[in-house]
Amino acid sequence: MNFDLDQEHQTWKKVVHDFVAKEVKPKAREVDETESFNWDAVRKGGPIGLLGMSIPEAYGGSNVGMISNAIALEELGWGCGSTALAFTAHNGLGTAPIAIYGSEELKQKWLSLVSSGKNKLGALALTEPGAGSDLQGGVTTRAEKQGDEWVINGAKMWCTNAGIAEYIITLVRTDPQGGSKSLSMILVPTNSAGLHIGSPEKKMGLRGSPTHAVSYDNVRVPLGNLIGAEGRGLQQTLATLDAGRISIGAISVGLAQAAFEAAVGYANERKAFGQALSEFQATQFKLANMATEIELARTLIHKAAWLKEQNRPINKEAAMAKLYATEMAERVCYQAIQIHGGNGYSREYHVERIYRDARLMTIGEGTSEIQRLVIARHVLAD
């Protein structure tokens, strides 16, 4: 396969880059320091397709494909990690399950609503206080049928976008007997009685992307809010996370690119011992390694995205791409701070914020340890 971007992808990349350069990147510091969400980016990003990347055009989306999705998220990550995370949580987690598995009624009712930029976003709640990676055995939030409604009780945590969402797709246990067919996805509007969204978490980074605990106290929703078939929630979630790992990897590449560009600029401007930092071999080696790792990670992301577009299995490739890209971003951000020296530790310089934002990427949507388990499972089977 050829990883060169065709004209359509190049045009899309420029459109998104110009948008991010104007509407996202200049507000990144403010978003971080005030812990505020960039609603302007949502309002203006909807019309150019950034809120409908997983949604078919028939339901108001842009349906750009996985490669263009990765391109857009890299650009958003380059501009602001917080804004990028909110966008990917909306597209990959909050809308894709409906677009892929949802009924015609759910698609018609919700997808155009959240892709326009005029309303709130979508969210997905998986993690629980007692269960992170162990979805099959750890999910205790339950949904029971009563008449023509689901009655939901339980609690979730680390739900990105919950406080800025129209609805929360919730992974629940619909069969108390357990097993791989005991979980289901149900759409829960955020104005539902009994649904409580906690205050935004106080986080190390990505402070402009709101993350919340969510509790369900006899929340009632129609039976038709079931997404896909009852008992297929685990399988749907795992497939959703595979694609999500490509997206998180793409954001990581964008964060690394931003840190790298800052490091290059600083190395050319800063003088030490009578010459620019960029003239020292130690600095040159750092920059060479950073540039090489970024390019390799981008290639892995684009390969996994291409496989997704070909409807081929991506479980191993998505895990590899996320693992390498997220850990690469930490290494690049670390070296960017080293090149900045003491200034790199100051909030006056962007690399400090980028470093904090990159830290979550090795945890969210499957930790690095989980990615290694997935990869090893495939390697040993092969």
Phi-psi region of 60 (alpha: psi -120 to 50; beta: other; left: phi over 0): left
Burial string for 303-315 (b: 16+ CB within 10 Å, else e) reads bbbbbbeeeeebb
Active site residue 330: no
CA nearest neighbour of 158 among 127, 196, 189, 204: 127
Hey, what amino acid is at 178? G
The residue annotated as part of the active site, out of 295, 309, 365, 369, is 365
> What is the torsional sign of CA 319, 323, 324, 325?
positive
Q: Alpha carbon of 35 to those of 28, 44, 53, 216: distances in Å?
A: 10, 20, 26, 26
| Structural contact between residues 125 and 186, judged by C-beta atoms closer than 8 angstroms | no
Task: Give the integer Cα–Cα distance in Å for 125 and 93.
Answer: 9
Beta strand pairing call for 121-125 and 165-173: parallel
Q: What is the SS3 string spanning 234-293?
A: HHHHHHHHHHHHHHHHHHHHHHHHHHHHHHHHHHHHCEECCEEHHHCHHHHHHHHHHHHH
d(CA 253, CA 184): 33
Which of 96, 359, 174 has the alpha carbon at shortest distance from 251? 359
Beta bridge partners of 188: 168
Measured CA to CA, the distance from residue 90 to residue 111 in angstroms comes to 11
Say if strands 211-222 and 165-173 run parallel, antiparallel, or are unpaired: unpaired
Q: Rounded to whole angstroms, how far apart are CA atoms 280 and 249?
A: 31
Q: Which residues are catalytic?
A: 365
